[in-house]
Amino acid sequence: MNAITETDALPIDSLREQIDGIDTELIRLWQERSRLSQQVGQARMASGGTRLVLAREREILARFREALGADGTQVALLLLRSGRGPL
Ligand SMILES: C=C(O[C@@H]1C=C(C(=O)O)C=C[C@H]1O)C(=O)O
């Protein structure tokens, strides 16, 4: 039998702990970004500006696409939506 099982001597628990720590941090960062984005939007609208700034959103989409490829674009779209709401 060559199948690797979770009972083999692989550090699965340790790797999963690291993954869980990263996920916790990603969630915290996601929520923090969303709060900051909402603050920017509220401040801009309070001074008569627009809710959205498409040029800035394009920069963010490009940053994620360059770093992560097509999936990065999807991540960035969700990230932007979580801050400023749906289009
Ligand atoms: C937060 C802002 O407002 C909106 C939200 C953005 C974001 O979440 O990154 C980017 C552009 C704007 O559409 C901003 O202008 O920076």
Q: What is the DSSP string of the chain?
A: -----TTSSS-HHHHHHHHHHHHHHHHHHHHHHHHHHHHHHHHHHHTT--S--HHHHHHHHHHHHHHHTHHHHHHHHHHHHHHH---
CB of residue 76 inside a 6 A radius of ligand 1:
no
pLDDT at 7 over 90: no
pLDDT at 1 over 60: no
pLDDT digits (tens, 9 = 90+) for 24-41: 999 999 999 999 999 999
Report the atom number in ligand 1 closest to the C-alpha of 39: 1
- Ligand 1: centre distance to CA 60 (Å): 9
Q: What percent of the chain has pLDDT over 90?
A: 83
CB of residue 38 inside a 6 A radius of ligand 1:
no
ipTM for the predicted complex: 0.98
Nearest CA to ligand 1 atom 10: 57
- Return the domain boundaries, the chain: 13-84
Q: Is the whole-model pTM more than 0.90? A: no
**CA-closest candidate to residue 70, choices 79, 78, 61:** 61
Give the model's pLDDT for residue 2.
Answer: 60
Instruction: Domain 13-84: give its CATH superfamily.
Output: Chorismate mutase (1.20.59.10)
